[in-house]
Amino acid sequence: MKQSFQAKISSKKFANALRDCGMKTELDRETVYDLVKLYSSEQEPIRDVRDRVIKLLNSQCRWSQQTVLTAAENSRDPIRTSRWLPVIVDGTMVLKAPNECRHSLDRILFSSQLPIFDVHHLSKDWTAQLGWDKIISKEILLAQLRYGAEEETTHVVSTVLAYMVSDWGISCADDLVDIAFVPRGNSCFMKPYQVFSPPKKGPSS
């Protein structure tokens, strides 16, 4: 169901009049839920949906303290789990949920594993509501690291490693043992044990 709203009403007089008529005067979580449901219904051309999604994400929303969600509620929140964000997959625009894609700003960390939602600017509030302020999973980072090494892309490898060390620390050390990520000249990568293992001793005379 579509709902009309005005993000900001400059005059309290008009705002009160609109409220008396049962109309919303600002964007809130419930209105966002209604819009997400509409966009995910696939009742409209997907390119039209993209234009509307971009406008929505550029709007300010009143995320009231009374509607702050717990971690468990966030994992089931329609904003994160409904497929309402248009992304390109294999050359075709499709709808994905925020937990199935990621903001283009961090694409170097996941581009081989997740679809990219391309938007020029996203506020901190919207980033948090979509769940994109959370640390990228270790599984995705390891897969992206392998991709960077296989493609011999030093920038990808170094960026992913820096992110993993910063956010995962020593807990990811064992996962790196069998990945060829150590540079060995000419963008070639080797596994850690191939580079740092002690040289074999020759036969003693």
- Domain total of the chain: 2
Q: Quick one: pLDDT at residue 36? A: 96
Confidence of residue 1 (pLDDT cuts 50, 70, 90): very low
Final residue belonging to a domain, choices 76, 96, 130: 130
- Report the SS3 class of residue 85: strand
The reply to whether 81 and 167 lie within a common domain is no
The reply to whether 84 and 171 lie within a common domain is no
35-39, 45-49, 94-98, 187-191: which range is least confident on average? 187-191
List 95's β-bridge partners, or say none: 86
31-35, 45-49, 123-127, 200-204: which range is least confident on average? 200-204
Q: Quick one: pLDDT at residue 94? A: 97
Confidence of residue 15 (pLDDT cuts 50, 70, 90): very low
The reply to whether 80 and 118 lie within a common domain is yes
Cα–Cα dist 85/94, whole Å: 8
Average pLDDT (14-25) is: 47
Cα–Cα dist 35/188, whole Å: 48
Q: Is residue 2 part of a domain?
A: no
pLDDT tops 50 at residue 137: yes
The reply to whether 106 and 16 lie within a common domain is yes
Domain of residue 95 covers: 12-130
Give the pTM.
Answer: 0.74
